[in-house]
Structures are given as C-alpha cells and as structure tokens.
Amino acid sequence: MAEFDVDLFVIGGGSGGVRAARIAANYGAKVMVAEEYRMGGTCVIRGCVPKKLFVIGSHVHQEIEDAAGFGWSIGQVSFDWATLVANKDKEIARLEGAYTTNVEKSGARIVKTRAVLEDAHTVRLATGEKVTAKYILIATGGAPNHGPAVPGIEHVISSNEAFHLKELPKRIVIQGGGYIALEFAGIFAGYGSDVTVVYRGDNILRGFDEDVRKHVRTEMEKRGITIITGCTVAKIDKHGRDFTTHLSSGSSIASDQVMFAIGRHPNVRGLGLEAAGVAINPANGGIQVDGWSKTSVDNIYAVGDVTHRTNLTPVAIREGHAFADTVFGKRPVQVDHATIPTAVFSQPEVGTVGLTEEEARAQYSHVDIYKTDFRPIKATMSGRDTRVLMKLVVDGTSDRVLGCHIVGDCAAEVTQVVAIAVKMKVTKADFDATVALHPTASEELVTMRTPTAQHVRQAAE
C-alpha cells in the first residue's frame, strides 16, 4: 500500500497551481487539485482576462471620435453594458472549461471544494474527506484589501464586483493609485462614466519611474478623469441609490458607485498553516518561501500571489513550473525574479522592464537617460491632444540598458519584445546599431542618440 494517497496535493486552481499540477502529472506524479470556487483563479475569472476585455471595449468610443479626422462619418452609436458583461461571462466560462480540461487531460484529479491543512502531509476537504500527500503546494492567490475600515465601507465595491455590475455607473469614485485603480478608471471613463480617482500618495503609480507617473497622470486628466492626490476616503454616506464620499481633505464627491482598489492581500486565512507549521513572512503577510518556493516545512511549497513576492500571473506560472521541474522532474530550476516586464492597461497604456531612473542612480555610479516625448502619427490627423513617452535607462560605464519605460498605444506589446533584449544584457550601442522600423512609434527606441540627462554619483570622501 502506498505511503500517501497522492504525490502532490495542490490547494488552488489558479494559474500557478494549474501549471504545477499539469507539469507534475506529466512527470508521472499522482496529483489532486482542490479549488473551492472556479478553475482559473484571479487572472482568468476576476483579473487580467476580463479586465483586458473591458479595456479593449472601452477604447471603441475614442476610436469613433478619432475616425472623423480620417474621413469617416459615423452616425449615432449606442453602448449596452449588459451585453458587454454577458459576453465577458461567456468567454470566462469557456476559459474556465479549458483550464479544467487541460488539468484533467494531464491525469490530475480536480476536487471542487475547500481544502485545509491538518498537518504537514494531511489535507482535510470540506466534504469531510482526508487526503494524505507526499508534497503539498499552496497556490491560493490573493484578494482585494479594503484597508482600514471607514464608516460606510459596506457600500464599497472591489474589482471583483466591478465585473458584475448590473449597470454602468454614471459617476464613480475610485480610491487607489496602482494598476487596478487606474485600469478601471480608464475602463469606466471609456464607456462614458464620470470618474474621480482618490489616492493618498503625492502621485499615482508608486514604484514606477517618475517620468511615467507624471506622463500617465497628465494624459488621464486630458481625458477627463479627475485625479485627487494627497488624501483618502474618510466616510461614505448612502442616499437611496447614490453615495456621498467624504475625503480626508474635507471635501466630498457625489456618485452612484464607490470602488476601492488600494491593494491585495495574500489568501492565507483559514488554511491551517499553523497546524502544519507553515510560517508567514512578517514583512509582507504572505507565506514565507525560499528561492525554490519551499516554505518552512520541507514538503510544503507555495507559489504565486499567496507568497506576496511578485504578484503577476506569468510569475506564478513560472514559479509553479519551476517547482514541478525541481521536485518531480529532478531538474532543479530557480525562478529569476529580476528584470520582469510588466504592463498597466491604463489609458494610456504603460509597459516597463528593468530599473527606473531612481533605482539605477541608487545602484550605479554613472547613469545615462535617453528620453523622448512626442505626438504619435495618428494624432496628427485625429487631432487628439496626446503624447507618447519612451525612456531608456543606461549604465554609463558599461553601456548596458538597465531599463525601458513606454507610455502610449501598444506599450505592453513593445515592452514584451524589449524585455528579451534587456534580459540578454543588451547595450545602448546594440540599440543604436538596429535599423529603425518606419513609421512606428517604437523606432524612437533605436534613434535616440543623445542623452537627455547624465548622472554621476560622487564617491563618499
């Protein structure tokens, strides 16, 4: 009789858990996956995929406005929010089915129930069944965090509920200044809502390059989005179907929807971590792991947002794959968390990889900056007041490109390709030697010849 019921028990059917389960099963492991909600996790069900679909749809209004400059005369148009939501739901259901099918095809078994650790090798299902496993992988992801409770917080929605609203809000207040807040600000504004963003910091997109932060704010404000920084939501009052949002500055805003997008926390509560001896990282509240995604318990691992390392879907997938390769493929693989490209599907879009100017100046003695800010070719005929930002951060000593930051149409698509070059430690000379592809916005990346700034850090005496 086998010592354990399964070789691997995965808690969580999101991107990281599914990848780990499939790869481990392909290596011949007996695998079980528990998911209490829907297969696909945050990204597929209530994150990147439905968000991107909403973003794409929200661009249409601007495309119609821009069409006039190119000779198109478009008559009266209408938009139906319910149709958007229904079609999105249909696509998400299709993807959920694909995730389920792919896991089952690999030979892994899915149980649609909650799973809790009883000890280092035992998992108890909500059905009452107990399963023993040689290895356990925790991939339960994260959830929206509303922060400190304020009066009226029960009236607030998160990004989860935003995907299922019965109707498009005419006016919405969004608290937050990161990815989710800005992406939904652009989404709602694109569909015609009056949008106000409230953020406690001095400017939006904390942690991004300063030029990116300024540029995105300017462009969003041009599009009619109100951005209020340096204050927070202190209280929300409900009047029938409407709300009054009171700010810490003393002012108030009327709306028919209030959304908080001020961060996410790891899903660690009620998992039985203490019973199994799994430690929490005191610095970030996620499950503490080493470079191999191993927890404080030798046979228990964790990947993805539940570790609160780098909360991006492709990172969770890479971590899950590396775990399966290492433990079941006997091929040790560690994930390199450096130089990870990322995008913000705000409007305008942001794509970035590598170091910001501030980070580079702190780490390198000589830093050269190449930056351009220009009107894209489409705007010359559409008449739209918009500009594109492109920026390269270069080590002035070795000529290596340390970072690339783009704000404008297709920024994410361009950044994915540039990320390969940055990962390969390409130099500015390599960029300069590359023939430009004309007429594109991205040709600016290989035609910027003169530094716009050069920084030399003085050695301490």
Q: What is the distance between the alpha carbons of residues 246 and 248, in angstroms, rounded to a whole number? A: 7
- Positive or negative CA dihedral for 334, 337, 339, 343? positive
β-pair type (171-175, 257-260)? parallel
At 149 the pLDDT is 87
| Residues 37/75, Cβ–Cβ less than 8 Å | no
Say which range, 141-145, 252-256, 304-308, 407-411, has the weakest mean pLDDT. 141-145
DSSP H stretches of helix in 231-327: 273-276, 313-327
Is 1's pLDDT higher than 80? Answer: no
- Give the confidence band of 147 by pLDDT, cuts at 50, 70, 90: confident
How would residue 461 be classed by pLDDT, with cut points 50, 70 and 90? very low
Scan for tokens 């969003």, then name that residue: 220
Instruction: Compute the average pLDDT of residues 355-368.
Output: 97
* All domains of the chain in start order, with CATH: 6-144+265-327 (3.50.50.60), 153-262 (3.50.50.60), 348-456 (3.30.390.30)
What pLDDT, in 10s, does the model give residues 335-361?
Answer: 999 999 999 999 999 999 999 999 999
Determine the Cα–Cα distance for residues 209 and 358; give it in Å rounded to an integer.
Answer: 7
Cis upstream peptide for 314 (omega within 30°): no
Own/partner contacts of 79-83, CB < 8 Å, gap of 24 or more, are 79/168, 79/191, 79/192, 81/165, 81/167, 81/168, 81/191, 82/166, 82/167
State yes or no: is 438 an active-site residue. yes
Give the pLDDT mean for 386-396. 97
The Cα–Cα gap between 176 and 431 comes to: 36
Q: Which residue has the tokens 């005496």?
A: 461
Q: Token pair 């600016």 is at which residue?
A: 444
- Confidence band for 42, pLDDT divided at 50, 70 and 90: confident
* Catalytic pick among 164, 246, 265, 438: 438
Q: For residue 459, what pLDDT is reported?
A: 59
Residues 259/157, Cβ–Cβ less than 8 Å? yes
- H helices present in 250-345, as ranges: 273-276, 313-327
Summarize the confidence of residues 359-387 as an average pLDDT.
96
DSSP E strand boundaries for 79-129 = 109-111, 115-119, 122-125
Whether residue 2 has pLDDT greater than 80: no
Average pLDDT, the chain: 95
Which one-letter amino acid corresponds to residue 120? A
More confident of the two residues 240 and 403: 403
Please give the average per-residue pLDDT across 267-294, as a whole number.
94
Q: Is the pLDDT of residue 248 over 80?
A: yes
Q: Which two tokens stand for residue 304?
A: 């993805």
Q: What is the mean pLDDT of residues 109-116?
A: 94
Q: Could you tell me whether strands 264-266 and 142-144 are parallel, antiparallel, or unpaired per DSSP bridges? A: antiparallel
DSSP state letters, 13-33: -SHHHHHHHHHHHHTT--EEE
Residue 242 CB-half CA count within 13 A: 7
pLDDT at 145: 86
- pTM for this model (two decimals): 0.94
